[in-house]
Amino acid sequence: MDNKKTYYVKNKDLLPEIRKYKATKVISDELGSMILQIARNYSNKGNFANYTWKEDMIGDAVLTCVTYLHNFNPDKSKNPFAYITTICHNAFLNFIKKQKKHGDIKDICFKGYQIIMDEAYILKSKGINYAILKK
């Protein structure tokens, strides 16, 4: 690398690290920091920037990248950056979808507070049926 401080990951630096990972099955600190840097920078994109759970979203994206990194074939593609960015994008969308679902459940619980607190209802159903609360 040059003496200039680099702020982003380049394919020419990322590809050898992935080749090392494929050979040893161990993610180096350098590769891990590259994946984290890609996820952090991608989270600053306009459609992901202002979420309150952004750090959790980044962590989930890094975990997803680590999980699926073994599927990247450096012999077929010379662009691991695009592969990792796509994984991050999909992980962010899935995380937002999960958070929206949890938010909907919280809203349902708040609106149906009296139904939930009814002991007979809880004993009868052996748990909370969120589909009934939506009505």
- Domain ranges for the chain, please list them: 11-99
Q: How far apart are CA 62 and CA 40, in angstroms?
A: 9
Note the residue count of the chain. Answer: 135
Of 19-23, 34-38, 89-93, 118-122, least confident by mean pLDDT is: 118-122
Taking residues 3-30, report their average pLDDT: 86
CA distances from 2 to 12, 33, 68, 100, 107 (A): 13, 18, 30, 43, 52
What is the per-residue pLDDT for 113? 63
Taking residues 93-109, report their average pLDDT: 85
**Does 134 score more than 90 pLDDT?**
no
Q: Which two tokens stand for residue 96?
A: 């937002």
Count Cβ atoms within 10 A of the Cβ of residue 65 and give its class: 0-12 exposed, 13-18 middle, 19 or more buried: buried
Q: Which pLDDT tens digit goes with each residue over 44-92?
A: 998 888 888 899 999 999 999 999 999 999 999 999 999 999 999 999 9
What is the per-residue pLDDT for 38? 95
DSSP 71: G
Q: Which two tokens stand for residue 13?
A: 């630096």
Q: Which pLDDT tens digit goes with each residue over 33-43?
A: 999 999 999 99
